[in-house]
């Protein structure tokens, strides 16, 4: 998808742009809590007026945006004054128009009572998983003890790491991006050609930043595996190292222990999964939107966070989905809308998802 960005700072053009691009479209104010829907009221003598509901404090510099077919329009403005309860006046400083071709349209679903009503449930977010481990450190340490007891006879060094322990850990970063095991049977020997890329990546991005291993050159092998929530969200890993080469059977053991770790976490009920039902307002092959009025549900969402949930279709079919939160929008009547991009589904979930889209006449290519 190609983008073309046009930046306008000539204030003599602002009035025409505001009336042409903002007066008849939905407009949103960027806030820390999400995108708040506002209304353009008028432009005169270099000042733009907006009606902004639900706002307690206004920042000196704000950013608003609107979408038209093929364009996103941003306006950077400076606060001037507040006139009435919800009326705010700003000095527009810069406008940017980003032209792009929208990848797809979304099908809008009917409300409750429709045969096409969808909802999500069993919802959890990556940051809730992280916070839950941090708040129940004793149980996390118990998991460590169990894993060490089962593996200490097989490996010379064992480390269990959880995501709440730091965001800069190189292995956690690797597992978050790739979600695949690390297996280095013997780093003291040159790798085969087919393993060269993985070897270089390990040596340059992980081993070189591991001060423990750097100061203990006797460790020449590693088998490490991510711990995954529902095989989707990485929240920790098991690292093992030896002073002798490791075999494939060692990697198999570490993989099995990562599964055991996930089972123990669920047995201890560390992760608070929401069984509430949240309504889906629109859907496409690549994403969907969720809407709700109760503000308590917003705690499950942050922009760019990972969320895992079950999408329930008619006739009790479902799709288990890993998604990324792309936008949080506050609409009229205090409705909150969450836009999600679908990242992963399993095979059966994909079949159910595609079948539903086909029933709406949507393309699944």
Is the per-residue pLDDT at 55 higher than 90? Answer: no
* pLDDT (0 to 100) of residue 104: 57
Domain ranges of the chain: 3-100, 107-126+274-359, 137-268
What is 137-268's CATH number, 3.30.450.40, 3.40.50.261, 2.40.50.140, 3.40.630.30?
3.30.450.40
* pLDDT (0 to 100) of residue 192: 86
Is the per-residue pLDDT at 157 higher than 60? Answer: yes
Is the per-residue pLDDT at 115 higher than 90? Answer: no
Is the per-residue pLDDT at 103 higher than 60? Answer: no
* Per-residue model confidence as pLDDT tens digits over 4-33: 788 889 988 999 889 888 888 889 998 887
Is the per-residue pLDDT at 224 higher than 60? Answer: yes
Q: Model's pTM, two decimal places?
A: 0.75
**335 within 8 A of 289, measured Cβ to Cβ:** no
* pLDDT (0 to 100) of residue 175: 95
What is the 3-class SS of the chain, one letter each residue?
CCEEEEEECCHHHHHHHHHHHCCCCCEEEEECCEEEEEEEEEEECCEEEEECCCCCCCCCEEEEEEEECCEEEEEEEEEEEECCCCEEEEEEEEEEEEEECCCCCCEECCCCCCCCCCEEEEEEEHHHHHHHHHHCHHHHHHHHHHHHHHHCCCCCEEEEEEHHHCCCCHHHHHHHHHCCCEEECCCCCCCCHHHHHHHHHHHHHCHHHCHHHHCCCCCCEEEEEEEEECCCEEEEEEEEEECCCCCHHHHHHHHHHHHHHHHHHHHHCCCCCECCCEEEEEECCCEEEEEECCHHHHHHCCCCCEEEEEEECHHHCEEEEEEEEEEEEECHHHCEEEEEEEEEECHHHHHHHHHHHHHCCCCCC
- Per the structure block, which two tokens stand in for 25? 């479209």
Is the per-residue pLDDT at 316 higher than 90? Answer: no
- Per the structure block, which two tokens stand in for 200? 């270089």
Architecture in CATH for domain 107-126+274-359: Beta Barrel (2.40)
For residues 270-295, average pLDDT: 92
Return the closest-CA partner of residue 169 out of 215, 226, 122: 226
**Looking up tokens 């490490």, which residue turns up?**
224
Return the closest-CA partner of residue 236 out of 193, 179, 313, 185: 179
**287 within 8 A of 106, measured Cβ to Cβ:** yes
* pLDDT (0 to 100) of residue 4: 77
* pLDDT (0 to 100) of residue 48: 93
Is the per-residue pLDDT at 251 higher than 60? Answer: yes
Mean pLDDT across the chain? 89
* pLDDT (0 to 100) of residue 20: 86
Is the per-residue pLDDT at 63 higher than 80? Answer: yes
DSSP state of 300: G
Per cent of the chain over pLDDT 90 is: 65
Is the per-residue pLDDT at 105 higher than 70? Answer: no
**Poorest-confidence range of 21-25, 92-96, 235-239, 355-359?**
21-25
**Poorest-confidence range of 51-55, 174-178, 254-258, 277-281?**
51-55
* pLDDT (0 to 100) of residue 169: 93
* pLDDT (0 to 100) of residue 277: 94
The confidence band for 363, taking pLDDT boundaries of 50, 70 and 90, is low
The confidence band for 332, taking pLDDT boundaries of 50, 70 and 90, is confident
* pLDDT (0 to 100) of residue 35: 87
* pLDDT (0 to 100) of residue 85: 80
Is the per-residue pLDDT at 112 higher than 70? Answer: no
- Helix (H) / strand (E) element for 8: namely strand 3-8
In DSSP terms, 292 is beta-bridged to: 336
- Per the structure block, which two tokens stand in for 302? 């942050």
Q: How many degrees, rounded to 5, is the angle at CA 276 between CA 35 and CA 304?
A: 35
Same topology for domains 3-100 and 107-126+274-359, yes or no? no
The confidence band for 364, taking pLDDT boundaries of 50, 70 and 90, is low
**300 within 8 A of 124, measured Cβ to Cβ:** yes
- 3-state DSSP assignment of residue 11: helix
Q: Rounded distance, CA 271 to CA 212, Å?
A: 31
**Looking up tokens 């279709």, which residue turns up?**
313
What is 3-100's CATH number, 2.30.110.10, 1.10.490.10, 3.40.1000.10, 1.10.3300.10?
2.30.110.10
């Amino acid at each position: 998808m190609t983008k073309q960005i046009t930046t306008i700072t000539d204030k003599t053009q602002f009035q025409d742009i505001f009336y042409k691009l903002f007066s008849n479209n939905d407009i949103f104010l960027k806030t820390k809590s999400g995108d708040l829907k506002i209304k353009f009221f008028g432009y005169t003598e270099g000042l733009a007026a907006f009606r902004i509901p639900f706002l307690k404090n206004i920042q000196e510099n704000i950013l608003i945006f609107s979408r038209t077919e093929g364009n996103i329009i941003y306006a950077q403005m400076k606060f001037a004054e507040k006139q009435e309860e919800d009326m705010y006046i700003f000095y527009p400083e810069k406008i940017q128009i980003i032209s792009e071709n929208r990848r797809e349209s979304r099908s809008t679903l009917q409300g409750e009572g429709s045969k096409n009503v969808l909802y999500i449930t069993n919802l959890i977010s990556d940051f809730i998983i992280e916070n839950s481990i941090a708040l129940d450190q004793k149980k996390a340490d118990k998991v460590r003890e169990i894993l060490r007891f089962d593996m200490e006879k097989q490996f010379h060094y064992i480390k269990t790491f959880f995501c709440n322990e730091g965001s800069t850990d190189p292995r956690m970063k690797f597992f978050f991006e790739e979600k695949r095991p690390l297996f280095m049977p013997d780093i003291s020997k040159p790798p085969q050609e087919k393993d060269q890329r993985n070897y270089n990546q390990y040596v340059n991005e992980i081993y070189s930043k591991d001060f423990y291993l750097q100061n203990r050159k006797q460790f020449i092998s590693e088998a490490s595996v991510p711990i995954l929530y529902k095989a989707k969200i990485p929240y920790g890993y098991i690292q093992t190292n030896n002073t002798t080469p490791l075999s494939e059977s060692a990697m198999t053991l570490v993989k099995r222990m990562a599964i055991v770790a996930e089972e123990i976490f669920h047995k201890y009920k560390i992760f608070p999964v929401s069984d509430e039902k949240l309504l889906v307002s629109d859907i496409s092959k690549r994403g969907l939107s969720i809407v709700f009025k109760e503000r308590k549900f917003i705690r499950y969402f942050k922009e760019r966070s990972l969320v895992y949930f079950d999408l329930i279709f008619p006739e009790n079919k479902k799709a288990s989905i890993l998604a990324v939160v792309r936008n949080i929008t506050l609409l009229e009547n205090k409705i909150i809308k969450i836009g999600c991009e679908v990242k992963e589904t399993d095979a059966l979930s994909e079949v159910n998802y595609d079948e539903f889209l086909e029933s709406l006449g949507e393309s699944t290519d």
